[in-house]
Amino acid sequence: MELQAGQVAVVTGAAGDLGRALARRLALEGLRVVLADTEEEPLRALADELIAGGAELLARTVDVGERAEVEALAGAAYDTFGAVHVLCNNAGTGRGAAGPLWEHDPADWRRSFRANVLGVLHGVRCFLPRMVASGEPGHVVNSAVADGGCAPPGAASVPAATGAAVVALTETLRAQLAAAGAPVGASVLVPGPYGLDGAGPPVPPAAVAEVAGRVVDGIRGGRFWMVPPGARTEAE
């Protein structure tokens, strides 16, 4: 799809490194942005920064694991701007139980799947019907923690499992949208070494900005895989 000034983009997990970079880049493209995160103070700081740069936005504290809160966010977005064209389901956690699977606390798995998988599902369920019904071009970008489900030796299996679930969910979503003839695309953002919630190593701002640029290019090009430099390729 073409990105044009005046369109509306939603970014969950907006207070994290990747979320901030996505919000900044989309605002730079002239889009109005809806920002959501559980962390109120850094969310407000980002909102103030973007407003000072001339962006139109709406900011809300939201727990994406709670469907009612995501539904309220969708209602506020449509009440404020009347449309949503880009949905970035970016909220999530790269933290998870370490060590052998047989020693894991199931509560760690429930927390991770609630944030990383149900959060994506809630975003899709609460925004996508209205996006499709509008008949306007749109795009959904789902962030998959870890390397899209790959679990190299020593990696935490919980984020890898949720990443695999988000990839499968998005593959299904993309196929169903195409079958329905909807003008809405779907992609997976694989953050690789860039944690969604600071769980990974420190990341230079320029590197995260480059990932955000690849997302914008991927939306324009209709690509399924959106990856940071050095990660898996579209052919893979």
Q: Say how far apart CA 185 and CA 140 lie, in whole Å.
A: 6
Residue 216 vs residue 156, higher pLDDT: 216
| Region of 154 on the Ramachandran plot (φ > 0 left; ψ -120 to 50 alpha; else beta) | left
In a domain, residue 14? The reply is: yes
Asked, for residue 62, whether it belongs to a domain, the answer is yes
With tokens 């956690």, the residue in question is 93
Query: Model pTM?
Result: 0.92
**What does the mean pLDDT of the chain come to?**
89
Answer whether residue 2 is part of any domain. no
Give domain status of residue 86, yes or no. yes
DSSP secondary structure of the chain: ----TT-EEEEESTTSHHHHHHHHHHHHTT-EEEEEES-HHHHHHHHHHHHHTT--EEEEE--TTSHHHHHHHHHHHHHHHS---EEEE---------S-GGG--HHHHHHHHIIIIIHHHHHHHHHHHHHHHHTS-EEEEEE-HHHHTB--TT--HHHHHHHHHHHHHHHHHHHHHHHTT-SEEEEEE--TTS-TTS-SS---HHHHHHHHHHHHHHHHHT-SEE--TTS--S--
- CATH code for the domain in which residue 199 is found: 3.40.50.720
How many independent structural domains does the chain possess?
1
Residue 236 lies in a domain: no
Q: Has residue 232 been placed in a domain? A: no
In a domain, 1, yes or no: no
Question: Is pLDDT above 60 for 223?
Answer: yes
What are the tens digits of pLDDT across the range 62-72? 999 999 999 99
Supply the range of the domain harboring residue 30: 8-226
- 178-184: list long-range contacts, CB under 8 Å, 24+ apart: 180/132, 182/132, 183/1, 183/135, 183/136, 183/137, 183/138, 184/128, 184/131, 184/132, 184/137, 184/138, 184/139, 184/140
Asked if residue 119 has pLDDT above 90, the reply is yes
pLDDT tens by residue, 26-39: 999 999 999 999 99
- Per-residue confidence band for 194, with pLDDT thresholds at 50, 70 and 90: low
Instruction: Decide if 126 contacts 87 (C-beta within 8 A).
Output: no
Between residues 96 and 198, which one has the greater pLDDT? Answer: 96
Work out the pLDDT band at 200, boundaries 50, 70, 90. low
The span from the CA of 88 to the CA of 73, in Å, is 13
Lowest mean pLDDT: which of 167-176, 196-205, 207-216?
Answer: 196-205
User: Per residue in 76-107, pLDDT tens?
Assistant: 999 999 999 999 999 998 777 777 888 888 99
pLDDT at 235: 38
pLDDT at 127 over 70: yes
Neighbours of 200 (CB within 10 A): 18
Predicted confidence at residue 236, as pLDDT, reads 40
d(CA 161, CA 159): 5
Q: What pLDDT score was predicted for residue 148?
A: 55
**Banded pLDDT at 227 (limits 50, 70, 90):** confident
